[in-house]
Amino acid sequence: MQNEKVRLTYYYTALILLACMSLAPIWVMISTSLKDEVTLQGDIPIWFFFVPTMDNYEAILTGRGKFDTYLWNSVIVAGATTFITLLFGGFCAYALARTRFVGRTFLANATLMVRMVPPAVIAVPAFAFVMLSGIDNDLAALTFLYTAISLPFAIWLLFGFFKQIPVELEEAAIVDGATPLQVFFRVLLPLMSSGYAVAGIFTLRIAWNEFILALLLTGRNSRTLPVAAASHITEEGVEWGRIMAMGTLIVIPPLIFTFFAAKQIIAGMTAGAVKG
Amino acid sequence: MTTTAKPKWEPGSLTPYAFVTPAVLLMGVGLLYPVFMAFYLSFFDWEIGRDFADAEAVGFVNFARMLNDPQVWEVLGVTLRFGFWVILLEMTLGIGLALLLEKPIRGASLFRTIFILPLMVSPVVVGLIWRYLFDARAGWINYYMSNWFGMEPQVWLGDPQLAFFAIVFTDIWQWTPFIFIIIIAGLQALPSEVVEASEIDGANWWQQVFLVKLPMIKSIIIIALLMRIIDVFRGLEVMLIMTGGGPGRSTELLSLHIYKRAFETQQLGYASAIAVLLILVVFGLSLLILKLSNPMKTRSDV
Amino acid sequence: MKFFNLAATAVAALVIGAAGALANPYEKYAGSTIVISWPSNNHFKVAETLVDEFTEETGINVEIDYLQYLKLRDRQLLEMAKPEGEYDVVAWVVMWKGEYVNKGLLTPLSEMYTNAGLVDPDYDIDDIADAYLQNGGIVGGAKGYLPGKSGGLYGIPFGAETSILAYRKDILEEQGIAVPTTYDELTAAMTKLNEAGIPALTSRGATGHQVTAAWLFHLAPMGGRIFDDKWNPIVNSPESVKAAEFLRHVAKTGPTGISSYGFGDATTAFLQGDAAFWLDSLKIAALSRDESRSKVNGKVGYALHPTDARCGSETGGFAMGIPANSQNKEAAFLFIQWMTSKAADQRIVELGGDPIRISTLQANTQGFDEYPVVAEQLPCADPDWRPLIPEWNELNVDVLGQALTQVITTDDPIQPIMDEANDKIRAIMEREGYYVWQ
C-alpha cells in the first residue's frame, strides 16, 4: 500500500510536469497578450502577477485591420470545409468499408497516397491557377483545396469506425426496404458520433490554421486569421503584445472546442488508431 | 474483426460509385491535378507577374539545374536530419512516457485533454510563440538559462546548430503528446491476460515491454510513424515564422525551400521541379513503410 | 479599342474643360473609392490619420490594405497582373520598381502630368529630395535603375529614408569617445566599447536580405560595388572584403543575437538601450522619441553616415505609384499628389512619419535633431548602392545572404567566402543573359 502511494506520487508529479510543459507556451502567449508595453519590456519574465490590459485586443479589433471580416472568413472556410469533408468523406469511407466494387483496392491505396502530397507542392500550381484564371479573393477556392487536403485523412479515420459497426444492423434495415442513403443517415450516422468528432476536429484544425495556401490565395477581403496574424510582424519591431493577442484569438476557438469535445476526440483518436 | 464485410448491394451495382464519386472528384482535382500541374510547370521558365503565354518552354533545364544545385541537396539533407531527430525523439519520449504512465489513474482524461492542446495550436502561432521564447534578447529561455543555471545567453535562432535544435524542440513540444496518447491507448487496449501470462512466466518489466507489449502494438507504432513522416515533409510554416530557414539554410526544410524559390526568388518553373523531387521522396519513403505494413490493407482484409 | 481611345480622349478633354469651371478639382471624384496597398510599418501607420484628412477634404474614400512588407510584393504582382486588379495605389520598396516596370505593371506618371485638370500648380516636385525621387520613382535611366535621359517617372517617394548614424550621447560621453566621422574611428570606438563591456553597434544580421542589407550599408562608403560597369560581379574585391570584415566586427562587438536580427530586432535592441550605435535608416529617430517603445528618448544624438573611401549613404524605403490596371487612375493620382504635397509632408512630420521634402526638413530643424543631419546627408546619398535589377532578389537572398551569414557566424577566412559568392553571382548573371553584349 505504501509502495502504491509512492508510485502514485511519482505518476502525478510526472503528469503534472508534462501538463505544465504542454501548457506553459500557450499561457505565455495568453499572458503576453494581456500585458502593456511597459510590462513587456521588463527584464524579468512575469507569469502571473501583472495588471492585465485589453489594449492589444482593442488595437486589433478597432484598427483598420478588418478583424471581423477575417474572423468571418475563417469561420466560413473552416465550417464549410469541415461540413463537406465529413459528408463526402463519410460516403466514401462507408463505401470502402462496406462494399466491394471494381477499383476499390486501387481507391483505398490512392487515398493513402494522395494524403502524402505536401501543401508546398500544391502552392505553386494553385498560385498559377489564380494568376491565369483571375479567380481570386474567393473563399470557395480555399475551401475546395482544404477539403481536398483533409479528405484522405478523414476517409482513413472514418473507414476504421465504419468497420467497427456490426453489419447486422444495416442488413436489418435493408430487409425493411431502406435505400442506401437511408441506411447511411438513419442507421449508421447515429453510431458514428465519436468518429465524426475526431475526423471533424482534424479537418477543422487544418482549415482553421492553414497559412501558406491562404496567404497565396486570399486578397484584401478574403484573408483568414493566420494570414492576418502574420502581417502584424512589422518592420520596426515585432509587436509581441499584439501578435500574441492575435494568436490568442486564433487559438482560443479550437482550444475551447477541444475542451468540450475532449472525451469524444480522445475516444475517437485512440479507437480509430487502435481498434481499426 | 473476424467478420468479413459482405457486399451490401449486388455486384456491379453503381451505388458504391455514387458514394465515392464526390470525394474522388474533390481529391482528384484538388490534389492530383496540382501534382500534374507541378510536373507540367517544371518544364517552363516562368515568373510571377508575367503572362504564362510568354513563359519559355525549357525542356529538362530545370531538372538538370536541380541535380547540380547543391542548395537542393543541402535542404534535403536538413529535412532528413530534422525528420530523423524529431521522429526518433518523439517516438522515444512518447512511447517511453506511455509505458511509464499506462496504469489507469484518476484524472487521466483531464491530463489527456491538456496533452492534445498543443496539437490544436496553429503552426503560425506556434512559430510566433517559440520565436518569442527563443528570442536572444527578450526571450524567456535565455533568462531562465542564465538566472537558474548560470549559462551564457545563447543566440538561439542565429546560430545554425542552435536554430536547428530550436525547431526540433518546438516540433517535439507540439507532437510528442500526440504519440503519447495514441500509444497509451494502444497499451491500455491490450488484453490483460497476455500481459499477466507473461508476468507469470517470470518476465521482468523490460522483457515484458520489448517482447510482449511493443510487438503487440506494432501496427499502431507504424501508423504514428507514417503520419509523422508525412508531416515532416509538409512542414514549413513554423520555420518560416521562427527563422525563415536561416541562419544559412540550417533550418530550411524542402517544403520551405520550394516556397522560397517560388515566391522569394520567383522561379515558378524551377520551384515546380523541386516540388516534383519532393513528391518522389515522400512517395518513396511512404511506399517503403507501407511495404512493411499497410494499415489500410490489413484493416480491410482481416 | 479605337472606340475606347476615343472615349478616353473625350473624357480627358472634358476633364481639362471642366477643371476651370469646377471650384474643386476633387469634386469630380468625390464619392469614389480607391484601394491602396501599403506596408504595415510605422510611417504608413501614422499616415492613416492623414488619409482620413484626405477623405474629409476631397470626398474620395480610401481603403487601406496593410501587409507585412515581405508579403507585399507577391500580392501586388498578382493583383497588377490580373486584367482588373484591386489596387489603385501601390507602395513599393524601391528595389522592386525595375521589375514592376519591366513587366508593364505600372502607369507612367507622365500620363497624369499631361492632364492639366489633375496637376496641382503649387506641387513643386523639385522640392522633393532628389535622391529619393530618383531612387524610388525613376525607372529606365542608366543601367535601368539610375537617373538618366532614358528614364521615366513612375512613382513619388513616400516613406523614403536614408541612412544616418545614431549614437547614445550618454554612453559616448561616459566612455570619452568622440562622435565618429570615419569608419576607422567607428571601428576603434566599437572595440573600445566592447572592452568596456558595452554592446557597440546594433545591426541586422538574419540570413537572407537582412544580413546583405547590413553589409551594403558599409560597402558603398568603402568604395565597393556589386557589379562593375559591364555587369561583372566584384563582391570579392578588397573593398567588399573589407566591408565584410567590418560586419564581422559588428557582430562580435554588438548586442547579443545579431545573426538572428531583422530590422525590427535591431531596432528593439537600440531602443531598449542595448547598443551604443545605430547605422541604418533614419526611422530610428522617430522611434526613439516614442516613449511607449523606447527607453532612450533624449539620449540619442545623430551624425552623418561615417565615410571611408567616399561619402555614400543609402537611400531606400518606399514610393507610391499607380498600377496599369487600376480603374481609378485619376483619383489615385490625386491621392498620391495630395499625400506628398507640402502641407501633407508637414503633417507627416507632426504625426511622426518621415518627410520627403527638403523644405520640410529645413522648416522643422527645431525639435527634430536628426533633420539637419538628414538634409546634409541626402546630397551624398548613393543611388547605386545596390543594383535594382530583377535578378537582385536571387543574388541578395540566395548568394550574398548565405555567404554573409557564414561571415558573421564563423571565423572562416573571408576572401574565399566572397570568391565563392562572386562565382555564383557570375553563373546566375550568365544564366540570365547579361553578357550578350560582351
CB contact under 8 A, C207 and B247: yes
- Contact (Cβ atoms closer than 8 angstroms) between residue B90 and residue B175: yes
Residues whose CB is less than 8 angstroms from the CB of residue C390 and which lie 6 or more positions away in sequence, other chains included: C98, C99, C102
Contact (CB, 8 A) for C95 and C314: no
3-state secondary structure of C221: coil
- Single out the residue of B241, B273, B228, B227 nearest to residue B254, CA to CA: B273
ipTM metric: 0.85
A118 near B CB under 8 A:
yes
Amino acid at site C70: L
Grid cell in block for residue B155: 543566440
Give residue B256's pLDDT: 92
CB–CB contact C393 B163 (8 Å)? no
Chain B contact probe: residue of C97, C256, C258, C260 with most B CBs at under 10 A: C260
CA-based torsion, C235, C239, C243, C244: positive or negative: positive
Terminal Cα-to-Cα distance of chain A (whole angstroms): 38
Q: B-chain residues within 8 Å CB-CB of C393?
A: 264-266
> In the prediction, which pLDDT does B4 show?
42
* Three-class SS state of C381: strand
Decide if C77 and B264 are in contact by the 8 Å CB cutoff.
no
User: In terms of CA atoms, which chain C residue is nearest residue B155?
Assistant: C257
Task: Take residue B57 and report the three cell numbers written for it.
Answer: 518552354
Question: Residue A85, Cα to own-chain centre: how many angstroms?
Answer: 12
What pLDDT, on a 0 to 100 scale, did the predictor assign at position B3? 41
> Alpha carbon of C2 to those of A263, B80, B239: distances in Å?
69, 60, 53
Rounded to a whole number of angstroms, the distance from the CA of B228 to the nearest CA of chain C is 28
Which residue among C35, C41, C84 places its CB closest to the CB of A235? C41
User: How much is the pLDDT for C107?
Assistant: 92
Per-residue confidence (pLDDT) for residue A114, from 0 to 100: 82
pLDDT given at position C323:
94
Domain parsing of chain C, residue ranges: 2-160+316-380, 162-314+383-430
Antiparallel, parallel or unpaired: β C33-39 and C89-93? parallel
pLDDT, residue A89, reads: 92
Lowest mean pLDDT across A62-66, A227-231, B185-189: A62-66
- C-alpha B36/C-alpha B57 separation (Å) is 16
Residues of B in Cβ contact (< 8 Å) with A273: 182, 185-186, 220, 223-224
Give the residue-averaged pLDDT of C128-143: 86
CB atoms within 10 A of CB C143: 16
CA dihedral B176, B182, B185, B186 (to 10 degrees): -120
pLDDT, mean over chain B: 82
Instruction: Retrieve residue A116's grid coordinates.
Output: 502524402
The size of chain C, in residues, is 438
Grid cell locating C408: 558573421
Of C113, C122, C153, nearest to C330 (Cα)?
C113
DSSP A184: I
The answer on pLDDT for B8 being more than 80 is no
pLDDT at C15: 47
Residue B299 has pLDDT above 50, yes or no: no
Q: Where are the domains of chain A?
A: 1-53, 60-274
3-state secondary structure of C319: strand
Helix (H) or strand (E) holding C188: helix C183-195
Min distance B145 CA to chain A CA atoms (Å): 12
Alpha carbon of B8: minimum distance to chain A alpha carbons (Å):
6
pLDDT tier, A254 (very low <50, low <70, confident <90, very high otherwise)? confident
Largest CA distance in chain B: 77
Determine the Cα–Cα distance for residues A239 and A223; give it in Å rounded to an integer.
20
Cβ-proximal residues to C153 (8 Å cutoff; 6+ apart), any chain: C108, C109, C110, C113, C133, C137, C138
| Lowest-confidence segment of A79-93, B145-159, C396-410 by average pLDDT | B145-159
- What is the largest distance, in Å, between two alpha-carbon atoms of chain A? 74
Q: B244 to each of B158, C22, C73, how far by Cα in Å?
A: 11, 53, 17
Question: pLDDT tens across B188-237, in order?
Answer: 777 777 777 877 777 787 888 888 888 888 878 887 888 888 888 888 88
pLDDT score at B82: 94
* Options 1.20.1250.20, 1.10.3720.10, 1.10.10.10, 2.60.40.2470; CATH of B70-293: 1.10.3720.10
Match domain C2-160+316-380 to its CATH number in 3.40.50.300, 2.60.40.10, 3.40.50.800, 3.40.190.10.
3.40.190.10
Q: Please name the amino acid found at residue A170.
A: E
Which of the four CATH numbers 3.40.50.1220, 3.90.280.10, 3.40.190.10, 3.30.450.70 does domain C162-314+383-430 have?
A: 3.40.190.10
Residue C245 pLDDT more than 80? yes
Are β-strands C89-93 and C315-321 bridged in parallel, bridged antiparallel, or unpaired? antiparallel
Residue A11 corresponds to which amino acid?
Answer: Y
Q: Is the pLDDT of residue C219 over 50?
A: yes
DSSP class per residue in C99-151: HHHHTT-B--THHHHT-TTT--TT--GGGB-HHHHHHHHEESSGGGTS-STT-
Can you tell me the distance from the alpha carbon of B163 to that of B170, in angstroms, rounded to the nearest whole number? Answer: 11
Q: Which residues of A touch C287 (CB under 8 A)?
A: 236-237
Kindly tell me if the per-residue pLDDT of C279 is higher than 90: yes
Percent of chain C predicted with pLDDT > 90: 43
CA distance A118 to B283: 11
Phi/psi class of residue C253: alpha, beta or left (left: φ > 0; alpha: ψ in -120 to 50)? alpha
Asked if residue B113 has pLDDT above 50, the reply is yes
pLDDT at B52 over 70: yes
Residue C149 vs residue C219, higher pLDDT:
C219
Helix axes C401-409, C209-219, angle to 10 degrees: 80
Pair C387, C219: CB distance under 8 Å: no
Residue B238 DSSP SS3: helix
Topology classification of domain A60-274: MetI-like fold (1.10.3720)
Residue-wise pLDDT tens digits, B228-263: 888 888 888 899 888 888 787 888 999 999 998 888
User: What one-character-per-residue DSSP string does C29-78 give?
Assistant: GTT-EEEEEEE-SHHHHHHHHHHHHHHHHH--EEEEEEE-HHHHHHHHHH
Name the more confident of A224 and C15. A224
3-class DSSP assignment, residue B272:
helix
For B60, phi then psi, to 5°, come to -95, 15
Mean model confidence pLDDT for chain A? 81
